Amino acid sequence: MIVSGGQMSSRTLTTLIVGGNNIGDQGLQYLIDMLQENKTLITLDVISISISNEGVCYLASALQKNETLITLDLGLNNIGPVGAKHFASVLQNNRTLTTLGLSSNLIDSQGAQSLANALKRNKTLTTLNLEHNEIDDEGIEYLANALEENKTLTTLNIGSNDFRDDGVIHVASILAQNKTLIALDLQTNKIGPEGACYLATALKKNKTLTTLNIQSNDIRTSGAQHIASLLQENEALVTLDLANTRIGSQGVVYLFNALEENKVTFFLHFVILSSRDYFT
């Protein structure tokens, strides 16, 4: 697509994907000019386009005024905590964006704090992807506290970060009372049996979460026992991913015994297990 003089004549285009192109700040500026003129675009994919913090600042400034864009994916651009701060400002002012992808951006816990503060005020975002951003226990606490006030977010991906059981306890505390989240991705972190216990205890009270991904964590057999106790009581969970969690064959026994004893018919459609879990 050629954008000339900041103009875009199309009145039908709703989705634009330019991810994976080395367009840099200059190319991004053309896109920003287009956003200011176009009234139909609702989805923009700018994954891995090699932009600097200056480019991120330009984009964030444009989104403050944009009234049409619904989905934006800015993954793999290494925007860092400074870029996250710019987008926190967007979340406080933009009224149309519902899906924001910021995966693999080196946001860390400082950036997570900025985003968390914005989430407390935001009333439109429903999906947030913060996967692979070096967010530790402190950053997870910021995000969890934000969910105590946020009433619109339904899908949160904080997989492949750097938090442990000390971070999960904050997530669990919120899950026990949260009534909006339906999908939570915690895969590939450092969650152990204790963290599994925190989650299981919280989800016995939760009535809305339908999808939980905790694959590639160190849940082990004792953690699987806690999860099994959850399955006996939870009436909402539909999809549970436990692949590569070292639950062992006994862990599988705990899970399937729990499913046999459960009084709710067909509430759990899938328990995803890796074959490697049976023998580790």
Domain boundaries, the chain: 1-163, 182-280
What does the pLDDT read at residue 11? 80
As given in the structure block, the two tokens for residue 212 are 């939980």
pLDDT band at 280 (very low <50, low <70, confident <90, very high): very low
CB-CB neighbours of 130 under 10 Å = 27
Residue 53 clears pLDDT 80, i.e. is over it = yes
Query: Distance between CA atoms of 114 and 111, rounded to whole angstroms?
Result: 5
Mean per-residue pLDDT for 229-255?
A: 92
Q: What are phi and psi of 17, to 5 degrees?
A: -120, 115
As given in the structure block, the two tokens for residue 242 are 């436990």
Pairing of strands 239-241, 211-213: parallel
Q: What 3-state DSSP class applies to 49?
A: coil
As given in the structure block, the two tokens for residue 216 are 């590639």
Residues 236-270 as b/e (b if ≥16 CB within 10 A, e otherwise) read ebeebbbbbbbbbeebbebbeebeeebeeeeebee
Cα 66 to the center of its chain, rounded Å? 23
Residue 23 clears pLDDT 90, i.e. is over it = yes
Task: Indicate the range of 98-107, 241-250, 265-274 predicted with least confidence.
Answer: 265-274
Query: Distance between CA atoms of 231 and 203, rounded to whole angstroms?
Result: 9
pLDDT band at 259 (very low <50, low <70, confident <90, very high): confident
pLDDT band at 274 (very low <50, low <70, confident <90, very high): low
The dihedral of CA 231, 256, 252, 185: what is its sign?
Answer: negative
Residue 263 clears pLDDT 70, i.e. is over it = no
Query: Distance between CA atoms of 149 and 174, rounded to whole angstroms?
Result: 10
pLDDT band at 276 (very low <50, low <70, confident <90, very high): low
8-state DSSP, 265: T
pLDDT in tens, 227-241: 999 999 998 998 999
As given in the structure block, the two tokens for residue 99 are 């899906």
Pairing of strands 239-241, 99-101: unpaired
What does the pLDDT read at residue 4? 46
pLDDT in tens, 126-147: 999 999 999 999 999 999 999 9
Residue type, 47: I
Mean per-residue pLDDT for 15-43?
A: 95
Residue 264 clears pLDDT 80, i.e. is over it = no
Contact between 172 and 201 (Cβ < 8 Å): yes
Residue with the two structure tokens 């995803």: 272
CB-CB neighbours of 105 under 10 Å = 26
Count of CA atoms in the C-beta half-sphere (13 A) of 116: 21
Q: State what percent of residues in the chain have pLDDT above 90.
A: 81
pTM of the model: 0.93
Indicate the CATH number for domain 1-163. 3.80.10.10
pLDDT band at 9 (very low <50, low <70, confident <90, very high): low
Query: Distance between CA atoms of 13 and 16, rounded to whole angstroms?
Result: 8
pLDDT in tens, 171-228: 999 999 999 999 999 999 999 999 999 999 999 999 999 999 999 999 999 999 999 9
Residue 272 clears pLDDT 80, i.e. is over it = no
Query: Distance between CA atoms of 86 and 70, rounded to whole angstroms?
Result: 18
Residue with the two structure tokens 């290494």: 78
What does the pLDDT read at residue 223? 98
Q: What is the residue-averaged pLDDT of the chain?
A: 91
The domain at 182-280 falls in which architecture? Alpha-Beta Horseshoe (3.80)
| Stronger pLDDT, 174 or 273, i.e. the higher one | 174
pLDDT band at 37 (very low <50, low <70, confident <90, very high): confident
First-last CA distance in the chain:
51
